[in-house]
Structure 1
Amino acid sequence: MELQPHFALMASYNQWMNAKVYDAASKLSAAELIEDRGAFFSSIFGTLNHIVVADTIWLKRFAAHPSSAATLAVMEPLPTPTHLAQRLFDDMQGLSAHRHWLDSVIINWVAALTDDDLDTLLSYHNTKGVASTRSYSRLINHFFNHQTHHRGQVSTLLSQAGIDIGVTDLLALIPDEG
């Protein structure tokens, strides 16, 4: 399987789902967005913020890879979050605008990757300073899986708040080739 087209699909899915989730979340009041709903990151806003934090951390790590340095140079000026629940924005408008920008960065980054780029290793340090060297393509797979995992949590929290975001399956973006 060629990985670049797979990651291009995942980047499109990520952008599509984020737009749906943020649109649904915009129907709630600020108080409803920050209400502690018993989720790992407490609230809808907290969970959406966590996804942005994790994406920022990973994109900054990916920017250190020779194949990604140019397309992810836009990440360099951003401060690296120091913990996974760090609040980056105080309101949904700021978080949403940044999410939209990040999704564009991800689309452009993935479009520039080649399968040869993906068949390499990436060395990085986690938020606790522990060094790792892992398959670049598998780390990118983790990156997209992490987003999907937490968006699923947000989908549940929105559903509990009476908001239906509609179809969430990746299948919706896979072309019918029959």
Structure 2
Amino acid sequence: MNRIEHIALMAHYNQWMNRKVYDAAGTLTDEELALDRKAFFGSILGTLNHLMLGDTVWLKRFAEHPADFSALVPLRTIATPADLKQLAFANLGELSAHRTWLDQLIVDWANSLHESHLDQRLRYHNMRGVGAEKPFFGLLVHFFNHQTHHRGQVTTLLTQAGVDVGTTDLLALID
């Protein structure tokens, strides 16, 4: 598997797992979703919002890549989040609809990448405004790892709430 195939696999894994997580979360009440469970972002809803906000921040940075990815153009109308702990969507239905849209955008964008894009360096600013420049492929690895990390937290919170997400292993998508 080459790097482009790996990124496409991770985009599909992200979409698949988010659908499973959101379906599982949908079995809980609004109160259960908002309950402070002492996680990094408090509740299940808070953690799902963080994931969506983090993805938005990174995708908006990726949209600044010299390749000018057309698949990321729709992000221009979305404001860059000021705080990764904010509750951008207070209910699961609205968050889920946005997540579905964002995940399809990620898949479409991942499918538009070329090997030559991966070795370029990307200049961006972190949330505190400090500039950085890093290899694009490394940033993509971070992007997908961040998703997996926090989805793992959500699946733990769902399990503690009595909801089984089912299989979560990437292995399920590998031929």
User: With structure 2 as the length reference, what TM-score do the two structures score?
Assistant: 0.98
Report deviation, 1:70: 1.6
Q: Deviations over 1:106-141 (max 9, x none)?
A: 001000001111111000000100100000011011
**3-state SS of 1:112 partner:** coil
Residue 72 of structure 1 aligns with which residue?
72
Report deviation, 1:90: 1.7
Q: Deviations over 1:54-76 (max 9, x none)?
A: 00000000000022432211100
Residue 57 of structure 1 aligns with which residue?
57
Where structure 1 has 5 or more consecutive residues not aligned to the other structure, the ranges are none
Contact 1:124 1:132 survives alignment (8 Å): yes
Residue 92 of structure 1 aligns with which residue?
92
Residue 46 of structure 1 aligns with which residue?
46
CA distance in 2, matches of 1:88, 1:39: 18
Within-5 A mapping of 1:1-178 = 2-175=2-175
Identity among equivalent pairs (%): 55
Question: Larger deviation: 62-71 or 117-126?
Answer: 62-71
State the AA in 1 paired with 2:137.
Answer: S
State the AA in 2 paired with 1:167.
Answer: T
User: With structure 1 as the length reference, what TM-score do the two structures score?
Assistant: 0.96
**3-state SS of 2:83 partner:** coil
- Large movers: runs of 4+ above 3 Å: none
Where structure 2 has 5 or more consecutive residues not aligned to the other structure, the ranges are none
CA distance in 2, matches of 1:152, 1:68: 32
Report deviation, 1:2: 2.1
Contact 2:120 2:136 survives alignment (8 Å): yes
